[in-house]
Every structure is written in structure tokens, then in C-alpha cells.
Amino acid sequence: MKSYDYRSDTITKPTDKMRKAMYEAQVGDDVYGEDPTVKELEELSCKISGKEAAMFVPSGTMGNQIAVKVHTSPADEILLEENCHIHWYEGGGIGAISGVVSKLIKSKNGLMDIDQIERSIRADDIHFPHTSLICMENTNNKCGGTVIDLNSMKEIYSLAKKNGIKVHLDGARIFNAAAYLGVSPKMLMMESDSVMFCLSKGLCAPVGSILAGDEDFIKRARKTRKMLGGGMRQAGILAAAGIIALEEMTDRLAEDHENARMLAQGLDRINGLKVEMDTVQTNIVMCDVTRDDLDSYRLREELGKSGVYSTVITDKRLRFVLHYHISKSDVTETIDIVKKATFNL
């Protein structure tokens, strides 16, 4: 049976070109700084991000955790968008690894309320923790791949700078944000002190993310990566695929966005389902089950029987993520399958 796997863009497999590059990659011990392919990926990442230095990390989670650790001291307070990955999906790591407390900031589609950020910055008072970091997420995963525009990023970054606070950008899907806004990824990444972006999601590399920032930040980040067990040896095998991800896989993301809109419109027309169309900006579709006698677990199970795989977000919400292995005609077929499944339930 044919399958349509919308669970995440992380399920994408390396392209043939990536596999060939991996096979042929020049490698060395990267903990000794001797892997030429990792170096090439890190130099390319500097160019793309406009940052002084960059470091290859095994996962986006590790990149974020290292950033929080390097930017803060134990008992600091950091400001996080209320739906962000660092808070929801990283195992509470910032508590264990960095020993910081967090304050969640309300947002609309991932864009934090700037007044609340301003009010949340702690005064210099003996009772208070020190506010040292603000984290932004663009695109915002839990909000459905929604985008923060360049001006809003600028506003937050300048407020932070004015108060001597660092900004980390969780840019797991920053290339999707750039494609949506029609700006260069660099313009978005310049509005932060550090940025993490994923190679292993929509860009199809098998493993890895990049953490970028200034020279001093990355120097300290390398030590923290080693401490966490993220120093990898002949990592050029993986970096080779990452280079192709950055050079050849970013331009096609707009296709995923088109397919997402098409899927969203199709799902929204089905009785008992609803999609907030204004949140469908990039490659993620959040689909709400509005029928009283149906929940998302049951719908997911029924769709699974026909080879359509999705993720439960709440008991009334399913998530569909578009990516390289889902074509326009797959989307048409999917809409038909969902129609039939909901009719039969």
C-alpha cells in the first residue's frame, strides 16, 4: 500500500546526491578540528547566517541547549515564547543543564507581545533573578509553522540590546520563514546574537544542525558541546550531506508551502474538519476536528489504515507536515482519503 507520511519533515531521507557525497567525503577527527568537510560546512554556514563562527551539532535540541548554557549563568531568568520548542519539547533541559528559570511570554502565532517582554525584564533588585536571554522561534513549530516578520524580529532584538540582554534564535525552520517572507535567511539571522538551524528537517540531511554566533560564543559553545557528549569524530560523513542541504535544498521549500496550502484548503472543505487558514504560512497544517462524535486519535488511526500518517497535537487537533517526499498529486490523493475516512467514521 502506498503511504503518505505527514508526521514530520524530520522523516525525510537523504537524497541520492547526499548519499554519494557522504560516501566520497574527506574526513578527519573533528574533536581535533581536523575534519575538512565539517570545516567546509561551518564556513558555508557563516556565509549563509552572516555570523563570525559556526559549529556543527548532532541535533537542534543540543544546539539550543548549548546556546542557553553559554548565554546564561545559573539562576538567571530567560524569556521564552509560550509555545516554544525549548520549553515544550527539550525534556526540561534548560533546568538541568543551565539551571535557569524561565518566564513564558504570551504570543500571537509565535510572535511575542513586545510590551510583556519589556515588563518582564527584571530590575536590578536584590530579590530578583537576572534576565539574561530572550529566545525567539521562527518559524514557530507548535503554532503551525507561523512566521515572525523581519520588523518584529528587529524590534525585539533592539529592545534586548538596549537592556544588555542576549537573543537566541531557534531557527530550526528559518529557511521556511525566509522563503515565506521573500527575504534572505541572513537578514533574519542577523537579528539575534546566536542562531540554531536544522539540516535534518525540510532540507533532507540525515542528521545535524548548526549553531552560529560570534567567535567568542562559538569558542565557549565548542567546550559545552564536548561536555554534553556532542563532540563527534569523523563527522564529515554527515557534514557532506549538510552542505548539499544548504546549497541545493532551500530553494524548493516554497513547493512544500504551496502543497501545504492546497492540503489545508482541501481539509477545511471536509465536513467536521477545520483549518485556520491564516496560520498556514509554511509547511505545517494544523487541522481541527470540529465534529462532536470524533476525536483526533480515532481519525489518525482511521487515516493510518489508508496509509496517511499524521501527528496528534491535542485530542481535537492533528498536524500534517509537508516535505520533499510529498508531491502535489500525493496531496490530491490524501484529500480524497481523508474525505472517505471521515465519511465512514
Ligand X SMILES: *Cc1c(COP(=O)(O)O)cnc(C)c1O
By the rule CB under 6 A, 172 interacts with ligand X: yes
* Residue 311 binding ligand X, by CB under 6 A: no
Least distance between ligand X and beta carbon 43 (Å): 22
Q: According to CB under 6 A, which one of 49, 61, 131, 176 is a site residue for ligand X?
A: 61
The binding track of 13-32 with respect to ligand X, each residue x by CB under 6 A or -, is: --------------------
Contact, 239 vs 25, CB < 8 A?
yes
Nearest approach in angstroms of CB 170 to ligand X is 5
Burial of 128 (0-12, 13-18, 19+ CB in 10 A): exposed
Helix (H) or strand (E) holding 317: strand 317-321
Report the residue from 4, 51, 60, 94 that binds ligand X according to the rule CB under 6 A. 60
What is the nearest approach in angstroms of ligand X to the Cβ of residue 169? 10
- Residue-level length of the chain: 345
| Residue placing its CB nearer to ligand X in the complex, 37 or 83 | 83
Among the candidate windows 54-62, 73-81, 181-189, 321-329, which touches ligand X by CB under 6 A?
54-62
Residue 75 burial (C-beta neighbours within 10 Å; 0-12, 13-18, 19+): exposed
Q: State the nearest-atom distance from the C-beta of 7 to ligand X, in Å.
A: 12
Q: Is the peptide bond before 10 cis (omega within 30 degrees of 0)?
A: no
Write down the least CB distance from residue 209 to ligand X, Å. Answer: 6
- Rounded CA separation 244/52 (Å): 21
Closest separation between CB of residue 67 and ligand X, Å? 11
Residues 6+ apart with CB under 8 A from 232: 30, 31, 56, 58, 238
Burial class (CB in 10 A: 0-12, 13-18, 19+), 126: exposed
Q: Which of 5, 44, 59, 113 binds ligand X (CB under 6 A)?
A: 59
Nearer to ligand X, 230 or 266 (CB): 230
Angle between helices 296-305 and 328-344 (to 10 degrees): 120
Assess 100 for contact with ligand X (CB under 6 A): no
Closest among 156, 136, 163 to 147, alpha carbons compared: 136
- Say which DSSP state 31 is in: G
Q: For ligand X, what does the binding mask look like between residues 181 and 220, x meaning CB under 6 A?
A: -----------------x-x--------x-----------
Q: Residue 287 to residues 3, 276, 329, 339: CA-CA distances in angstroms?
A: 19, 8, 20, 13
Closest residue to ligand X using C-beta atoms: 60
**Binding window for ligand X (CB under 6 A); candidates: 59-67, 159-167, 214-222, 263-271:** 59-67
- Host H or E run for residue 293: none
Compare residues 283 and 342 and give the one whose CB is closer to ligand X.
Answer: 283
Handedness of CA 138, 143, 147, 151 (dihedral sign): negative
User: What x-and-dash track marks residues 127-146 binding ligand X by CB under 6 A?
Assistant: ----------x---x-----
Provide the Cα torsion 317, 104, 152, 200; round to 10°.
Answer: -60
# of chain residues touching ligand X (CB under 6 A): 12
Q: Which is nearer to ligand X, 172 or 204 (CB)?
A: 172
Contact track, ligand X, 250-269, x by CB under 6 A = --------------------
Contacting positions for ligand X (CB under 6 A) = 59-61, 64, 85, 137, 141, 170, 172, 198, 200, 209
